[in-house]
Amino acid sequence: MSIYVGNLSYDATSEDLTAVFAEYGSVKRVQLPTDRETGRMRGFAFVEMAADAEEAAAIEALDGAEWMGRDLKVNKAKPREDRGGGGGNFGGGGRRGGGDSFSRGGY
């Protein structure tokens, strides 16, 4: 099980989160996703603890708690949804069939 921690301050570090969650048990891993283009933290994290009971205690205590000037959103992380992939064409203006305007007759 993993814990989702949302509404984080952009100043939060993995060390900060480890210290907070360590009050409820042994922290195995902290993951702070960053934006691919800017490298800036995205405002949420995932925390993995050694035991389910520790994770449950941390969720109970920290959900809605104010930390670093923000009210945390802490809950059990949901499995990542399959977004389909496959390279479908999502927008981007292009003409479908037909070529350029000169090939439609008249010249």
Is residue 81 one of the residues assigned to a domain?
no
Cβ–Cβ < 8 Å for 85, 61: no
Is residue 50 one of the residues assigned to a domain?
yes
Is residue 15 one of the residues assigned to a domain?
yes
Is residue 98 one of the residues assigned to a domain?
no
* Arithmetic mean of pLDDT over the chain: 85
Domain around 13? 3-76
Domain holding 31: CATH number?
A: 3.30.70.330
Q: What is the pLDDT of residues 34-82, one digit of tens each?
A: 999 999 999 999 999 999 999 999 999 999 999 999 999 999 998 877 6
Mean local confidence (pLDDT), 91-101: 49
Q: How many domains does the chain have?
A: 1
Model's pTM, two decimal places? 0.73
- Per DSSP, the three-state class of 5 is strand
Is residue 11 one of the residues assigned to a domain?
yes
Is residue 97 one of the residues assigned to a domain?
no
